[in-house]
Structure 1
Amino acid sequence: MAARLYDLSSSWTFPNTRQQVWDVIADPSMAWPDWWPGCTLAKPLERSSQTATSNNELLLATTATLNFKASLGYTLSVSYHPTMVDDPKEIIFDAGGDLEGEGRVILSDKANKVTQMDIEWRVRPTSRWMSFLSPVAAPAFTYAHAALMRRGEEGLRDYLARQNGNK
Protein backbone atom coordinates (compact mmCIF):
# COMPACT_ATOMS: atom_id res chain seq x y z
CA MET A 1 0.00 0.00 0.00
CA ALA A 2 1.36 3.43 -0.98
CA ALA A 3 1.82 6.03 1.72
CA ARG A 4 -0.83 8.71 2.00
CA LEU A 5 -0.33 11.76 -0.25
CA TYR A 6 -0.45 15.06 1.61
CA ASP A 7 -1.56 18.16 -0.32
CA LEU A 8 -0.46 21.01 1.93
CA SER A 9 -0.59 24.73 1.30
CA SER A 10 0.30 27.88 3.15
CA SER A 11 0.10 31.58 2.36
CA TRP A 12 2.48 33.98 4.02
CA THR A 13 2.46 37.77 3.71
CA PHE A 14 5.26 40.23 4.34
CA PRO A 15 5.49 44.03 4.41
CA ASN A 16 8.44 43.78 2.05
CA THR A 17 9.00 43.87 -1.68
CA ARG A 18 8.96 40.64 -3.63
CA GLN A 19 12.69 41.06 -4.35
CA GLN A 20 13.51 41.39 -0.63
CA VAL A 21 11.63 38.17 0.15
CA TRP A 22 13.14 36.39 -2.86
CA ASP A 23 16.67 37.35 -1.88
CA VAL A 24 16.25 35.45 1.41
CA ILE A 25 14.27 32.37 0.34
CA ALA A 26 16.16 31.83 -2.93
CA ASP A 27 19.65 32.45 -1.57
CA PRO A 28 21.86 29.63 -2.90
CA SER A 29 23.43 29.28 0.55
CA MET A 30 20.02 27.94 1.73
CA ALA A 31 20.47 29.69 5.08
CA TRP A 32 16.91 28.95 6.20
CA PRO A 33 18.15 27.95 9.69
CA ASP A 34 19.12 31.62 10.16
CA TRP A 35 15.45 32.60 10.28
CA TRP A 36 13.28 29.45 10.62
CA PRO A 37 12.90 28.31 14.26
CA GLY A 38 13.25 24.53 14.55
CA CYS A 39 15.15 24.26 11.25
CA THR A 40 18.77 23.08 11.12
CA LEU A 41 21.10 22.06 8.32
CA ALA A 42 21.22 18.24 8.34
CA LYS A 43 24.39 18.01 6.26
CA PRO A 44 26.52 20.27 4.06
CA LEU A 45 24.94 21.57 0.86
CA GLU A 46 25.49 19.43 -2.23
CA ARG A 47 26.34 21.16 -5.50
CA SER A 48 26.09 19.33 -8.80
CA SER A 49 28.04 22.02 -10.68
CA GLN A 50 30.94 24.10 -9.51
CA THR A 51 30.81 26.20 -12.68
CA ALA A 52 27.48 27.89 -11.99
CA THR A 53 27.91 31.65 -11.99
CA SER A 54 24.51 33.26 -11.39
CA ASN A 55 22.41 32.86 -8.25
CA ASN A 56 19.77 31.02 -10.28
CA GLU A 57 22.35 28.57 -11.67
CA LEU A 58 23.75 28.02 -8.18
CA LEU A 59 20.28 27.44 -6.79
CA LEU A 60 19.47 24.89 -9.50
CA ALA A 61 22.76 23.10 -8.79
CA THR A 62 22.09 22.92 -5.03
CA THR A 63 20.47 20.28 -2.87
CA ALA A 64 19.92 21.26 0.75
CA THR A 65 18.97 18.73 3.42
CA LEU A 66 17.30 20.35 6.40
CA ASN A 67 15.94 19.01 9.66
CA PHE A 68 12.61 20.37 10.91
CA LYS A 69 11.53 19.87 14.52
CA ALA A 70 7.74 19.42 14.60
CA SER A 71 5.62 20.63 17.49
CA LEU A 72 4.62 17.01 18.18
CA GLY A 73 8.22 16.14 19.08
CA TYR A 74 9.48 14.37 15.96
CA THR A 75 12.09 15.67 13.50
CA LEU A 76 11.84 15.33 9.74
CA SER A 77 14.87 15.43 7.48
CA VAL A 78 13.89 16.79 4.07
CA SER A 79 16.05 17.50 1.04
CA TYR A 80 15.19 20.30 -1.37
CA HIS A 81 16.43 20.41 -4.93
CA PRO A 82 15.12 23.26 -7.11
CA THR A 83 14.11 22.12 -10.60
CA MET A 84 12.76 25.43 -11.94
CA VAL A 85 13.57 29.01 -10.94
CA ASP A 86 11.73 32.05 -12.28
CA ASP A 87 13.46 34.94 -10.47
CA PRO A 88 11.84 36.62 -8.46
CA LYS A 89 8.50 34.85 -8.82
CA GLU A 90 8.57 31.09 -8.49
CA ILE A 91 10.61 28.07 -7.43
CA ILE A 92 9.61 24.47 -8.07
CA PHE A 93 11.57 21.81 -6.22
CA ASP A 94 11.79 18.09 -5.61
CA ALA A 95 11.65 16.90 -2.02
CA GLY A 96 13.32 13.79 -0.67
CA GLY A 97 14.22 12.20 2.62
CA ASP A 98 11.42 11.74 5.15
CA LEU A 99 8.98 13.43 2.75
CA GLU A 100 9.10 12.65 -0.95
CA GLY A 101 7.36 14.64 -3.67
CA GLU A 102 7.40 18.17 -4.95
CA GLY A 103 6.82 21.69 -3.83
CA ARG A 104 6.26 25.10 -5.27
CA VAL A 105 6.72 28.61 -3.92
CA ILE A 106 5.09 31.55 -5.70
CA LEU A 107 5.70 35.19 -4.79
CA SER A 108 3.21 37.85 -5.84
CA ASP A 109 2.95 41.58 -5.29
CA LYS A 110 0.07 42.99 -3.28
CA ALA A 111 -0.81 46.62 -2.55
CA ASN A 112 1.63 48.86 -0.64
CA LYS A 113 4.78 46.79 -1.24
CA VAL A 114 3.28 43.74 0.45
CA THR A 115 4.40 40.36 -0.86
CA GLN A 116 2.35 37.19 -0.68
CA MET A 117 4.18 33.87 -0.68
CA ASP A 118 2.07 30.82 -1.57
CA ILE A 119 3.64 27.47 -0.72
CA GLU A 120 2.29 24.20 -2.08
CA TRP A 121 3.45 20.70 -1.10
CA ARG A 122 2.50 17.34 -2.58
CA VAL A 123 4.44 14.83 -0.53
CA ARG A 124 4.28 11.32 0.86
CA PRO A 125 6.05 10.24 4.03
CA THR A 126 8.82 7.72 3.44
CA SER A 127 9.44 6.73 7.04
CA ARG A 128 7.74 3.51 8.06
CA TRP A 129 6.29 4.94 11.28
CA MET A 130 4.67 7.93 9.53
CA SER A 131 3.26 5.79 6.73
CA PHE A 132 1.87 3.32 9.27
CA LEU A 133 0.26 6.05 11.40
CA SER A 134 -1.04 8.20 8.54
CA PRO A 135 -4.52 6.64 8.38
CA VAL A 136 -5.24 7.74 11.96
CA ALA A 137 -2.66 10.48 12.54
CA ALA A 138 -3.09 12.49 9.31
CA PRO A 139 -4.94 15.32 11.14
CA ALA A 140 -2.12 15.52 13.72
CA PHE A 141 0.55 15.54 10.99
CA THR A 142 -1.37 18.27 9.12
CA TYR A 143 -1.63 20.30 12.35
CA ALA A 144 2.11 19.88 13.01
CA HIS A 145 2.86 21.04 9.45
CA ALA A 146 0.68 24.14 9.89
CA ALA A 147 2.41 24.98 13.19
CA LEU A 148 5.84 24.52 11.61
CA MET A 149 4.87 26.77 8.72
CA ARG A 150 3.57 29.48 11.09
CA ARG A 151 6.95 29.45 12.86
CA GLY A 152 8.66 29.79 9.48
CA GLU A 153 6.47 32.73 8.49
CA GLU A 154 7.04 34.52 11.81
CA GLY A 155 10.78 33.83 11.65
CA LEU A 156 11.08 35.14 8.09
CA ARG A 157 9.00 38.23 8.92
CA ASP A 158 11.29 39.02 11.90
CA TYR A 159 14.43 38.33 9.84
CA LEU A 160 13.27 40.63 7.01
CA ALA A 161 12.43 43.37 9.53
CA ARG A 162 15.94 43.13 11.01
CA GLN A 163 17.51 43.15 7.51
CA ASN A 164 15.58 46.26 6.58
CA GLY A 165 16.08 48.10 9.86
CA ASN A 166 12.39 48.02 10.71
CA LYS A 167 12.87 46.43 14.10
Structure 2
Amino acid sequence: MTARLYDLSSSWTFPNSQQEVWNVIADPDMAWPDWWPGCTLAKPLERTPVIGTSASELLLATTATLNFKASLGYTLSVSYHPTLVESPREVVFDAGGDLAGNGRVVLSTKDNGHTEMKIEWRVRPTSRWMTFLSPIARPAFTYAHAALMRRGETGLRDYLARQNNKK
Protein backbone atom coordinates (compact mmCIF):
# COMPACT_ATOMS: atom_id res chain seq x y z
CA MET A 1 0.00 0.00 0.00
CA THR A 2 1.37 3.41 -0.98
CA ALA A 3 0.71 6.19 1.49
CA ARG A 4 -1.14 9.28 0.43
CA LEU A 5 0.78 12.38 -0.48
CA TYR A 6 0.66 15.18 2.06
CA ASP A 7 0.90 18.60 0.43
CA LEU A 8 1.51 20.91 3.40
CA SER A 9 2.35 24.57 3.57
CA SER A 10 3.09 27.12 6.26
CA SER A 11 3.81 30.81 6.26
CA TRP A 12 5.81 32.45 9.04
CA THR A 13 6.55 36.17 9.44
CA PHE A 14 9.34 37.67 11.51
CA PRO A 15 10.25 41.26 12.38
CA ASN A 16 13.83 40.45 11.39
CA SER A 17 15.73 41.05 8.17
CA GLN A 18 15.74 38.37 5.52
CA GLN A 19 19.48 37.86 6.07
CA GLU A 20 19.02 37.35 9.84
CA VAL A 21 16.35 34.68 9.25
CA TRP A 22 18.43 33.07 6.50
CA ASN A 23 21.51 32.84 8.73
CA VAL A 24 19.56 30.69 11.19
CA ILE A 25 17.48 28.47 8.91
CA ALA A 26 20.24 27.85 6.35
CA ASP A 27 23.00 27.26 8.90
CA PRO A 28 25.18 24.45 7.48
CA ASP A 29 25.58 23.09 11.02
CA MET A 30 21.78 22.58 11.15
CA ALA A 31 21.38 24.02 14.64
CA TRP A 32 17.60 23.72 14.44
CA PRO A 33 17.46 21.92 17.83
CA ASP A 34 18.75 25.17 19.38
CA TRP A 35 15.47 26.90 18.55
CA TRP A 36 12.84 24.33 17.54
CA PRO A 37 11.13 22.73 20.58
CA GLY A 38 10.78 18.98 20.15
CA CYS A 39 13.55 18.81 17.52
CA THR A 40 16.77 16.89 18.12
CA LEU A 41 19.59 15.62 15.92
CA ALA A 42 18.93 11.93 15.25
CA LYS A 43 22.54 11.33 14.27
CA PRO A 44 25.63 13.36 13.35
CA LEU A 45 25.48 15.44 10.19
CA GLU A 46 26.64 13.70 7.02
CA ARG A 47 28.82 15.69 4.62
CA THR A 48 30.05 14.86 1.17
CA PRO A 49 33.33 16.50 0.16
CA VAL A 50 32.78 20.23 -0.24
CA ILE A 51 33.82 21.78 -3.54
CA GLY A 52 33.88 25.40 -2.34
CA THR A 53 34.07 27.30 0.90
CA SER A 54 30.82 29.25 0.99
CA ALA A 55 28.03 28.51 3.46
CA SER A 56 25.75 27.63 0.51
CA GLU A 57 28.25 25.08 -0.84
CA LEU A 58 28.65 23.59 2.63
CA LEU A 59 24.88 23.39 3.05
CA LEU A 60 24.53 21.58 -0.30
CA ALA A 61 27.06 18.99 0.92
CA THR A 62 25.12 18.37 4.16
CA THR A 63 22.45 15.87 5.07
CA ALA A 64 20.84 16.31 8.47
CA THR A 65 18.62 13.72 10.12
CA LEU A 66 16.38 15.26 12.75
CA ASN A 67 13.83 13.81 15.14
CA PHE A 68 10.60 15.74 15.64
CA LYS A 69 8.34 14.95 18.59
CA ALA A 70 4.72 15.36 17.46
CA SER A 71 2.02 16.64 19.80
CA LEU A 72 0.23 13.29 19.44
CA GLY A 73 3.16 11.49 21.10
CA TYR A 74 5.00 9.92 18.18
CA THR A 75 8.44 10.92 16.90
CA LEU A 76 9.34 11.27 13.24
CA SER A 77 12.90 10.95 12.00
CA VAL A 78 13.35 13.01 8.84
CA SER A 79 16.47 13.60 6.77
CA TYR A 80 16.99 16.86 4.90
CA HIS A 81 19.36 17.18 1.98
CA PRO A 82 19.42 20.54 0.19
CA THR A 83 19.41 20.29 -3.61
CA LEU A 84 19.24 24.02 -4.39
CA VAL A 85 20.46 26.95 -2.31
CA GLU A 86 19.95 30.53 -3.43
CA SER A 87 21.20 32.67 -0.57
CA PRO A 88 19.46 34.46 1.14
CA ARG A 89 16.19 33.52 -0.53
CA GLU A 90 15.48 29.85 -1.17
CA VAL A 91 16.36 26.30 -0.14
CA VAL A 92 14.92 23.28 -1.92
CA PHE A 93 15.53 19.90 -0.30
CA ASP A 94 14.85 16.20 -0.52
CA ALA A 95 13.35 14.53 2.53
CA GLY A 96 13.85 10.94 3.62
CA GLY A 97 13.30 8.75 6.63
CA ASP A 98 9.77 8.61 8.04
CA LEU A 99 8.64 11.18 5.44
CA ALA A 100 9.86 10.89 1.85
CA GLY A 101 9.50 13.62 -0.71
CA ASN A 102 10.68 17.17 -1.05
CA GLY A 103 10.26 20.63 0.33
CA ARG A 104 11.03 24.23 -0.28
CA VAL A 105 11.59 27.28 1.93
CA VAL A 106 11.38 30.75 0.39
CA LEU A 107 12.17 33.99 2.19
CA SER A 108 10.96 37.40 1.05
CA THR A 109 11.03 40.89 2.50
CA LYS A 110 7.68 42.56 3.15
CA ASP A 111 7.00 46.28 2.69
CA ASN A 112 7.38 46.85 6.44
CA GLY A 113 10.87 45.28 6.45
CA HIS A 114 9.67 42.05 8.03
CA THR A 115 10.58 38.68 6.55
CA GLU A 116 8.03 36.19 5.32
CA MET A 117 9.04 32.54 5.21
CA LYS A 118 6.93 30.19 3.10
CA ILE A 119 7.43 26.49 3.70
CA GLU A 120 6.11 23.84 1.30
CA TRP A 121 6.17 20.08 1.92
CA ARG A 122 5.22 17.30 -0.48
CA VAL A 123 5.82 14.08 1.42
CA ARG A 124 4.51 10.58 1.95
CA PRO A 125 4.88 8.69 5.20
CA THR A 126 7.15 5.67 4.83
CA SER A 127 6.63 3.92 8.15
CA ARG A 128 4.25 1.00 8.01
CA TRP A 129 2.00 2.28 10.82
CA MET A 130 1.59 5.75 9.29
CA THR A 131 0.95 4.32 5.83
CA PHE A 132 -1.68 1.99 7.26
CA LEU A 133 -3.40 4.68 9.35
CA SER A 134 -3.10 7.48 6.81
CA PRO A 135 -6.54 7.04 5.19
CA ILE A 136 -8.33 7.51 8.54
CA ALA A 137 -5.74 9.45 10.55
CA ARG A 138 -4.98 12.08 7.90
CA PRO A 139 -6.76 14.87 9.86
CA ALA A 140 -4.84 13.96 13.02
CA PHE A 141 -1.50 13.84 11.16
CA THR A 142 -2.26 17.20 9.51
CA TYR A 143 -3.15 18.68 12.91
CA ALA A 144 0.07 17.32 14.45
CA HIS A 145 2.08 18.84 11.58
CA ALA A 146 0.42 22.25 12.07
CA ALA A 147 1.13 22.15 15.83
CA LEU A 148 4.76 21.16 15.19
CA MET A 149 5.15 24.03 12.74
CA ARG A 150 3.66 26.52 15.21
CA ARG A 151 6.22 25.40 17.79
CA GLY A 152 8.96 25.88 15.21
CA GLU A 153 7.73 29.36 14.31
CA THR A 154 7.50 30.43 17.95
CA GLY A 155 10.91 28.94 18.72
CA LEU A 156 12.55 30.70 15.78
CA ARG A 157 10.89 34.01 16.66
CA ASP A 158 12.15 33.75 20.27
CA TYR A 159 15.63 32.70 19.12
CA LEU A 160 15.90 35.64 16.70
CA ALA A 161 14.77 38.03 19.45
CA ARG A 162 17.47 36.67 21.79
CA GLN A 163 20.08 37.06 19.02
CA ASN A 164 19.01 40.69 18.50
CA ASN A 165 19.20 41.38 22.23
CA LYS A 166 22.82 40.18 22.25
CA LYS A 167 23.80 42.85 19.69
| TM-score over 0.5 (shorter chain) | yes
Q: Counterpart of 1:164? A: 164
Q: Counterpart of 1:75? A: 75
Question: Shift of the alpha carbon at 1:111?
Answer: 2.0
**How high is the sequence identity, in percent, across the aligned residues?**
80
Letter of the 1:73 partner, please give it.
G
Question: Shift of the alpha carbon at 1:165?
Answer: 0.8
Q: Counterpart of 1:154? A: 154
SS at match of 1:100: strand
Distance 1:133 1:69 in 2: 18
Q: Counterpart of 1:65? A: 65
Query: Is residue 40 from structure 1 mapped to residue 28 from structure 2 by the alignment?
Result: no
Contact in 2 for aligned 1:46/1:63 (Cα 8 Å)? yes
Contact in 1 for aligned 2:50/2:57 (Cα 8 Å)? no
How many residues were matched structurally?
166
SS at match of 2:27: coil
* C-alpha distance after superposition, 1:76-114 (max 9, x if no partner): 000000000010010000000000000000001102220
* C-alpha distance after superposition, 1:137-163 (max 9, x if no partner): 000000000000000000000000000
Contact in 2 for aligned 1:101/1:123 (Cα 8 Å)? yes
Q: Counterpart of 2:20? A: 20
Shift of the 33–154 alpha-carbon distance from structure 1 to 2, 3 Å rule, reads same
**Structure 2: gaps of 5 or more residues:** none
Tell me the C-alpha RMSD between the 2 structures: 0.9
* C-alpha distance after superposition, 1:3-59 (max 9, x if no partner): 110000000000000000000000100000000000000000000114541100000
Q: Counterpart of 1:110? A: 110
Contact in 2 for aligned 1:52/1:61 (Cα 8 Å)? no
Question: Shift of the alpha carbon at 1:130?
Answer: 0.1
Distance 1:3 1:42 in 2: 24
**Structure 1: gaps of 5 or more residues:** none
Name the TM-score, length of structure 2 as normaliser.
Answer: 0.97
Letter of the 1:140 partner, please give it.
A
Q: Counterpart of 1:142? A: 142
1:1-20 matches, cutoff 5 A:
1-20=1-20
Distance 2:114 2:141 in 1: 30
Distance 2:111 2:67 in 1: 35
